[in-house]
Amino acid sequence: TPVGPGDVPGEAECELATVLLRLWAGQRDPELLAEAERAVAGLAAPAARAVLGRILYERALADEPDPELLAAAEREFAAVGGDPDPGLDPRLRLDCLVRRAQALVRLGELREDTGALREARSALEAVTGAPASDPAVRSALGRVLLALLPRTPDPAERTA
């Protein structure tokens, strides 16, 4: 159906890109990621940026890990996770926080950089204090802490 006056701009493009990501997960055809990226290119809505982050993350890890693409994915997730709009779907915000932490962990591993891991820890700890902290956030924080453990020799620093 054609786009109507009540349709959210970019919604169809985001849906297409999401379907293409699902196909990518099963088929691993790089053209699917390229088509998904074209679908959301230039869209500024938080949902589109979140999908773009997912596409960039998958591209970054498709062949040889690409730190630049991972950093680009992390920036997209950070933009959505930090969006001040009170009307933003809180599930989308949390999903992007978790995905950002995942990207930062991979970046930290690739670059052997504890700074990225500490940034992920700080971002997740900022939301884990909520009374009904999301299990995905707690799990992501656990993965970050496990990644930090071998890189933090000082026991006092581990609990800081």
Q: Contact at 8 Å (CB) between 9 and 1?
A: no
Mean pLDDT of 36-50: 96
What is the phi/psi pair of residue 129, to 5°?
-75, -10
- Predicted local distance difference test score (pLDDT) of residue 43: 95
| Residue 112 backbone class (left: φ over 0; alpha: ψ -120 to 50; beta: rest) | left
**Position 127 confidence tier, pLDDT thresholds 50, 70, 90:** confident
**Position 158 confidence tier, pLDDT thresholds 50, 70, 90:** low
Q: Where are the domains of the chain?
A: 11-158
- Predicted local distance difference test score (pLDDT) of residue 3: 59
pLDDT top residue among 128 and 92: 92
- Assess if CATH 1.25.40 describes domain 11-158: yes
